A and B are shown apart, each in its own frame.
Chain A
Amino acid sequence: MTGGLLELATGGLVLAGAFFFLAGTAGLLRFPDVYCRLHALTKADNLGLGLIALGLALQAPDWAARLQILLIWLLALAAAATVCHILARSSLEQGVPAAGVDTEVPS
Chain B
Amino acid sequence: MRRISLVWLLVFALVWTVLAAPRFDAWVAGGLAVLLGTALHTGLGGRQGARISLRGLLGFAPFFVNQSVRGGIDVAFRALHPARPLDPGFIRYRIGLPAGPARIFFVNCISLLPGTFSAQFHDRELRVHLLTDDAEGARKLETLEEKVARLFGVRLDSSAPGGHPPSSSSPGDDAPSVSRTLPGEEDHHG
Contact = CB atoms under 8 A, between A and B. Distances in A.
Contacts of B58: none
Nearest to A21: B76
Contact of B120 (A32, A75, A92): A92
Interface in A16-51: 19-20, 23-24, 26-27, 30-33, 35-36, 38-40, 42-43, 46-48, 50
Contact of B86 (A31, A75, A101): A31
Contact of A85 (B68, B80, B117, B183): B117
A92 B183 contact: yes
Contacts of B127: 92
A89 B120 contact: yes
Interface string A74-107: 0101101110110011011101111111010111
Contacts of A24: 76, 79
B15 interface: yes
Interface size class of A (residues with CB under 8 A): 35 or more
Contacts, number: 130
Interface residues of B, number: 41
B78 interface: yes
A80 to B, nearest CB: 7
Interface stretch (B38-46, B49-57, B93-101, B105-113): B105-113
B88 A46 contact: no
B184 A43 contact: no
Given A85-B117, A97-B183, A101-B89, A43 B18 contact: no
A100 B111 contact: no
Nearest to A92: B183
Interface of A: 19-20, 23-24, 26-27, 30-33, 35-36, 38-40, 42-43, 46-48, 50, 64, 67-68, 71-72, 75, 77-78, 80-82, 84-85, 88-89, 91-93, 95-101, 103, 105-107
Given A50-B68, A88-B119, 8 more contacts: A42-B111, A46-B113, A78-B108, A88-B117, A91-B183, A97-B183, A98-B182, A100-B87
